[in-house]
């Protein structure tokens, strides 16, 4: 049944002028007759959403295998073979169902309970995020369904109207077909296949593993069966389905990799979802920051360690007065500070260091001489410590570099220990001023050794960090270019991810790349990195439900960029 909508445009041609000094009068015109513009209905009928997650299916291996039904859907899909990984099975599903990234929901355990941050305030309120079924049924009179063989996921989603108990992927398929066939009032349905992930655990998550490949082909067969049942619904001609096929992550729960996402509707034109150009975070407020939540002292300098820390930085302003933008230190209060912090001084940068809390002297500033302006520059700090046979530091120096050029050296032995419980932070911390400096950061590297002047100079702008001569000493490397959600992923052999918080913005800088970044082609005005948290946002968008700020969504309803294809 096709429903015609009429939009009544009544154009009133009357112009009134009000002078600055008072009312000047209004000249009236005859009203023309109303104009009736007949438009096609925005949709074929009732909007509905079907989400199918093939857990553990890696985007790259899906692309290699190219199973029949998913490959057919791709021809009318917005798709990504590089959906950002999540922390675990549960983390992926919670992000998918709540629209929030792991840095917010903090759920990664299989029991779907929030992970306790050892550095958090025990008395701080725990934020819980509602699932998409809850939102949809608040605004729409529809039924919801979840079909999964995972008992813990069923328990987490107890608010689903249909929640059959099944134990195999075959049973998942059969129950899904049954619900689609018999439930006319169904509005959204999430379906979960688990046997691809189990097969990958037996021989590897690669297409050359016969177990894994066969499981992918079988899951694709089930997808085909489900789509056949969907199109056979009695009222299908009056329904407008968004079908999303995705994975909670690629690979295993213990070692997840990037997954895939495919959003299908017959009206869609194919478009690959990916980053275009360079997409960093703009840190511009006192609250915007990225921190390592718990590092087990890996990034603590203490009184005997040597380190080198380097980051590409682009300031958005000049002539500022001492705002801090990177640190592992306490706040600077007068001359009291413990740890180190990088600041923006005039049109230069500096390092402030001290050991006030550990019996050492306080504030000492080491100022670079080059003015970085508002271009990208590589800023480097090294701390070199000489230790005697008794394990006591006998000499300690701190150096600062701009673009590999040594700019200043200072003796910091009198600071004693720089140990602090404060977290390694990119973003504002109180220094000589509490006014932040707007900036972008990228390619943050942390070495557990003081690199030589020659090595620092020779490796400025290195595109592949694995080729660094001291790669074995790398304990943290954060490209900081994910383009979405709230995590900077650590790409070093050891180390930890950083979590974003506060008010921050991902920005597409197009071809304005930092020195150490391998350029991604600027292929489109659209830069759409794919995440599993997008699934809830797409569901809400397709169901015509506004995503309000207090929902806390990280996911993006990117289909709004393509409305010309399906809103006629």
Residues 25-31 have a mean pLDDT of 33
* Greatest mean pLDDT among 41-45, 101-105, 259-263: 259-263
pLDDT at 7 over 60: no
- Residue 525 pLDDT level (bands cut at 50, 70, 90): confident
pLDDT at 125 over 70: no
**Residues 459 and 541 reside in one and the same domain:** no
Whole-number Å distance between alpha carbons of 194 and 199: 9
Pick from 515, 482, 463: which is nearest to 290 by CA?
A: 482
**Residues 263 and 338 reside in one and the same domain:** no
**Residues 269 and 287 reside in one and the same domain:** no
Tokens 């599903």 locate to 93
Asked if residue 442 belongs to a domain, the reply is: yes
Whole-number Å distance between alpha carbons of 46 and 143: 13
Asked if residue 501 belongs to a domain, the reply is: yes
**Residues 265 and 306 reside in one and the same domain:** no
Tokens 């701390």 locate to 383
Q: How far is CA 400 from the centre of its chain?
A: 31
Q: Residue 375 is encoded by which pair of tokens? A: 């271009």
**Residues 29 and 54 reside in one and the same domain:** no
Residues 85-98 have a mean pLDDT of 96
Return the half-sphere exposure (C-beta side, CA atoms, 13 A cut-off) of residue 102: 28
Asked if residue 120 belongs to a domain, the reply is: no
Asked if residue 512 belongs to a domain, the reply is: no
Strand pairing partners for 237? none
**Residues 543 and 487 reside in one and the same domain:** no
Q: What is the pLDDT of residue 4?
A: 35
Residue 519 or 467, more confident: 467
Q: What is the pLDDT of residue 345?
A: 83
Regarding beta strands 15-19 and 22-27, do their DSSP bridges make them parallel or antiparallel, or are they unpaired? antiparallel
Summary mean pLDDT of the chain:
90
**Residues 194 and 329 reside in one and the same domain:** no
Signed CA dihedral, 372, 374, 375, 379: sign only = positive
Asked if residue 21 belongs to a domain, the reply is: yes
- Residue 29 pLDDT level (bands cut at 50, 70, 90): very low
pLDDT at 559 over 90: yes
Tokens 């007759």 locate to 33
**Residues 180 and 311 reside in one and the same domain:** no
pLDDT at 119 over 80: no
Whole-number Å distance between alpha carbons of 412 and 109: 43
Whole-number Å distance between alpha carbons of 357 and 562: 56
* DSSP letter for each residue of 176-234: HHHHHHH-TTEEEEEEEE-HHHHHHTTT-SSTTSHHHHHHHHHHHHHHHHHHHHHHT-T
**Residues 21 and 56 reside in one and the same domain:** no
Q: Model's pTM, two decimal places?
A: 0.85
Q: Please say whether the beta carbons of 444 and 310 come within 8 A.
A: yes
Instruction: Compute the CA torsion angle 393, 397, 403, 405 (nearest 10 deg).
Output: -130
**Residues 532 and 450 reside in one and the same domain:** no
Q: What is the pLDDT of residue 121?
A: 44
Interval 433-445: pLDDT, tens: 788 999 999 999 9
Asked if residue 513 belongs to a domain, the reply is: no
Q: What residues make up the domain containing 340?
A: 281-506
CATH code of the domain containing 560: 3.40.720.10
**Residues 33 and 51 reside in one and the same domain:** no
What residues contact 563, with CB distance under 8 A and at least 6 apart?
A: none
Interval 211-256: pLDDT, tens: 999 999 999 999 999 999 999 999 999 999 999 999 999 999 999 9
Radius of gyration of the chain (CA): 28
Asked if residue 491 belongs to a domain, the reply is: yes
**Residues 340 and 435 reside in one and the same domain:** yes
What residues contact 31, with CB distance under 8 A and at least 6 apart?
A: 10, 12, 13
CATH code of the domain containing 311: 2.60.120.200
Q: Count of domains in the chain?
A: 3
Whole-number Å distance between alpha carbons of 189 and 209: 31
Asked if residue 117 belongs to a domain, the reply is: no
Signed CA dihedral, 449, 453, 455, 460: sign only = positive
pLDDT at 123 over 50: no
């Amino acid at each position: 049944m096709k429903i015609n909508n009429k939009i009544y445009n009544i154009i009133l041609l009357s112009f009134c002028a009000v002078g600055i000094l008072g009312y000047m009068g209004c000249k009236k015109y005859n009203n023309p007759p109303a104009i009736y513009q007949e438009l096609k209905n925005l949709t074929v009928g009732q909007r509905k959403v079907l989400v199918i997650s093939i857990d553990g299916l890696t985007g790259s291996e899906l692309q290699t295998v190219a199973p029949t039904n998913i490959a057919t859907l791709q021809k009318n899909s917005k798709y990504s073979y590089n959906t950002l990984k999540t922390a675990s099975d549960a983390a992926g599903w919670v992000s998918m169902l709540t629209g929030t990234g792991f840095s917010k929901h903090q759920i990664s355990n299989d029991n779907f309970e929030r992970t306790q941050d050892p550095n958090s305030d025990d008395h701080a309120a725990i934020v819980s995020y509602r699932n998409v079924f809850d939102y949809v049924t608040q605004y729409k009179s529809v039924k919801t369904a979840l079909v999964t063989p995972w008992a813990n996921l069923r328990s987490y989603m107890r608010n689903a109207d249909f929640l059959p108990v099944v134990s195999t992927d075959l049973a998942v398929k059969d129950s899904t077909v049954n619900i689609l066939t018999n439930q006319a009032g169904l509005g959204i349905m999430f379906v979960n296949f688990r046997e691809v992930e189990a097969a990958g655990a037996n021989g590897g998550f690669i297409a050359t593993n016969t177990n894994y490949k066969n499981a992918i082909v079988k899951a694709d067969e089930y997808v085909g069966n489900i789509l056949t049942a969907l199109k056979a619904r009695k009222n299908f001609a009056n329904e407008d389905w968004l079908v999303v096929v995705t994975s909670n992550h690629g690979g295993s729960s213990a070692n997840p990799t990037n997954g895939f996402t495919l959003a299908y509707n017959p009206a869609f034109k194919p478009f690959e979802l990916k980053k275009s150009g360079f997409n960093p975070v703009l840190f511009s407020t006192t609250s915007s920051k990225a921190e390592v939540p718990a590092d087990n002292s890996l990034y603590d300098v203490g009184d005997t360690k040597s380190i080198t820390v380097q980051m590409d930085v682009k300031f958005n302003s000049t002539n500022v007065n001492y705002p801090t933008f990177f640190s592992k230190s306490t706040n600077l209060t007068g001359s009291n500070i413990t740890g180190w912090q990088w600041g923006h001084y005039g049109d230069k940068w500096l390092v402030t260091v001290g050991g006030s809390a550990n019996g050492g002297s306080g504030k000492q500033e080491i100022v670079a001489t080059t003015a970085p302006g508002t271009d990208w520059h590589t800023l480097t700090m090294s701390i070199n410590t000489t230790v005697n046979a008794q394990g006591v530091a006998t000499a300690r120096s701190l150096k600062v570099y701009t673009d590999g050029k040594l700019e200043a050296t200072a003796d910091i032995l009198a600071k004693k220990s720089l140990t602090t419980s404060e977290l390694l932070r990119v973003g504002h911390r109180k220094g000589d001023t509490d006014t932040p400096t707007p900036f972008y950061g990228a390619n943050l590297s942390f070495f557990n050794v003081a690199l030589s002047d020659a090595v620092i100079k020779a490796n400025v702008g290195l595109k592949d960090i694995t080729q660094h001569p001291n790669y074995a000493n790398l304990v943290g490397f954060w490209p900081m270019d994910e383009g979405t959600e709230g995590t900077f992923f650590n790409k070093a052999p050891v180390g930890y991810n950083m979590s974003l918080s506060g008010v921050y913005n991902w920005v597409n800088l197009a071809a304005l790349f930092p020195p150490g970044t391998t350029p991604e082609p600027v292929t489109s005005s659209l830069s759409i990195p794919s995440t599993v948290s997008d699934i809830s946002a797409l569901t809400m968008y397709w169901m015509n439900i506004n995503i309000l700020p207090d929902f806390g969504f990280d996911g993006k309803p990117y289909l709004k960029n393509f409305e010309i294809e399906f809103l006629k």
